[in-house]
A and B are shown apart, each in its own frame.
Chain A
Amino acid sequence: GAGVSQSPSNKVTEKGKDVELRCDPISGHTALYWYRQSLGQGLEFLIYFQGNSAPDKSGLPSDRFSAERTGGSVSTLTIQRTQQEDSAVYLCASSLELARVSPEQYFGPGTRLTVT
């Protein structure tokens, strides 16, 4: 009965480097969401997947951000040429279906990214 897992839990990287964050959703969950939470701020929606498809990528803050999901399961969020303002906690969540049909959404513990 594993929940949503994310790796790494902490990542420190130098400005300009690329980073890859991983999310393992709950088995069987078709919907997967990525959020960013900066210090003292609310959750900022980044992107969601229904299966392997991301219907709308306009929530991503810049073209340095990309995400993919394969096999309807694991998702990776990639940030290229990281900047200091990318420092935040990146949270992943999954649910059986999209929220409009009211399924419960389960969050992972997050990846704390620090760009130095």
Chain B
Amino acid sequence: KNQVEQSPQSLIILEGKNCTLQCNYTVSPFSNLRWYKQDTGRGPVSLTIMTFSENTKSNGRYTATLDADTKQSSLHITASQLSDSASYICVVICVYGGSQGNLIFGKGTKLSVKP
């Protein structure tokens, strides 16, 4: 069964600190992996999209890694800011659509950045 598991479920860090969020998946056949940021009361916004051949991709203070062999991805946030407080969702795209139109969502990690 195609699944995406994220950890931790929630995380509290102090402003300025770094953190790493984890995503493990069992999606096959794999197409690409995305990290989304969802602010409270808003729709998710894409941070990075990584294909099978990409190991790392950065978007400002956000750096995503992908290990296609172990089926793991991480999202590293550097020098956190209060505005980073949000839910971070890992989404894996399967080549074949099935009933979900290809997208398999994790439940997200809720990050709180405190001053």
Contacts and interface: CB of A to CB of B under 8 A. Distances in A.
Interface in A44-86: 45, 48, 55-56, 58-59
Interface string B2-22: 000000000000000000000
B105 A42 contact: yes
22 contacts: A33-B103, A42-B105, A45-B100, A45-B101, A48-B100, A48-B101, A56-B98, A56-B101, A58-B99, A91-B43, A98-B102, A99-B93, A99-B102, A100-B31, A100-B93, A100-B94, A102-B32, A102-B49, A102-B51, A105-B103, A109-B43, A110-B43
Interface of A: 4, 31, 33, 35, 41-43, 45, 48, 55-56, 58-59, 91, 93, 98-100, 102, 104-105, 107-110
